[in-house]
Amino acid sequence: MSAVATDRLIEVKHPLVQHKLSYLREKDTPTVHFRKIANEVTLLLTYEATKDFPTEDIEIETPLEWTTAQRISGKKVAVCPVLRAGMGMLDGVLSLVSGARVGFIGLYRDEETLEPVEYYVKLPNDLADRDAIVLDPMLATGNSSAAAIAKVKEAGARSVTLVCLVAAPEGIDRVHSAHPDARIVTASVDRGLNERGYIVPGLGDAGDRLYGTK
Ligand code: URA
């Protein structure tokens, strides 16, 4: 899949991702389509986020003969959506990684300070055996994503990959300075933030667009 990548940041430029992202950005896309496409883009980002999963050779018998095939080796995943907008990405991950455990991180953004406020955290208790995929659609200031990654790391996750639909450079810097070991996978690195902390050009408030609120 075509992607612009460094070790820690992957921007997925695949035409399908960019095509679908254009509908997420468009202000008149109805909720029912937005919700479906957000999961489709997440599925494609998950494909990229999992591309380095180690595989091992196994011997299997096809209807014709024995052959060597590859299976993912002992990979355990925990998917952790940041409530509420991250829930709009969960099905996209689970449709590819169906055995993943799911943790929930409840944070909201104080609209004045733009700082994250925690109200609910429930993570799998065997996180130390798992690689975590944190879902936060909009990497804006990076404060809530950095706080969510901190929670998952405190609980012992082996590695953390943040999957977001759109990222601002400010958020990427914030996450990477707080968590140099975290990977970010996104469909777009946008221009920046406006005076209200929204990503521009962005796609608006992801939670409102997913759930038809406001
Ligand atoms: N959260 C959103 O939902 N959208 C933004 O642009 C920034 C933060």
190 is catalytic: no
3-state secondary structure of 93: helix
- Asked whether residue 108 is domain-assigned, the answer is yes
Q: How many CB atoms lie within 10 A of CB 59?
A: 8
Find the domain containing 8 and state its range: 3-55+71-211
Q: Ligand 1: does its nearest atom lie under 6 Å from the Cβ of 206? A: yes
Which of 7, 113, 130, 213 is catalytic? The answer is: 113
Dist CA 46 CA 198 (whole Å): 24
Residue 148 confidence (pLDDT): 97
- pLDDT higher than threshold 90 for residue 56: yes
Count: domains in the chain: 1
Strands 159-167 and 192-193: unpaired
pLDDT in tens, 112-165: 876 788 999 999 999 998 999 999 999 999 999 999 999 999 999 999 999 999
CATH number of the domain bearing residue 123: 3.40.50.2020
Q: Say if residue 192 is exposed, middle or buried (CB neighbours under 10 Å; 0-12, 13-18, 19+).
A: middle
Q: Which of 203, 209, 211 to mutate to test the pocket of ligand 1 (most atoms within 8 A of CB)?
A: 203
173 is catalytic: no
Tokens 């990222």, residue? Answer: 167
Dist CA 203 CA 14 (whole Å): 19
Helix boundaries (H) for the chain: 15-25, 31-49, 87-94, 143-154, 169-178, 206-211
Which of 8, 84, 101, 109 is catalytic? The answer is: 109
- Asked whether residue 60 is domain-assigned, the answer is no
- Asked whether residue 204 is domain-assigned, the answer is yes
CA of 140 to the centre of ligand 1 (A): 6
- pLDDT higher than threshold 80 for residue 93: yes
pTM: 0.94
Q: How many CB atoms lie within 10 A of CB 92?
A: 24
Give the tokens for residue 43: 């599925």
Instruction: Report in angstroms the alpha-carbon separations of 130 from 45, 134, 154.
Output: 19, 12, 13
- Asked whether residue 10 is domain-assigned, the answer is yes
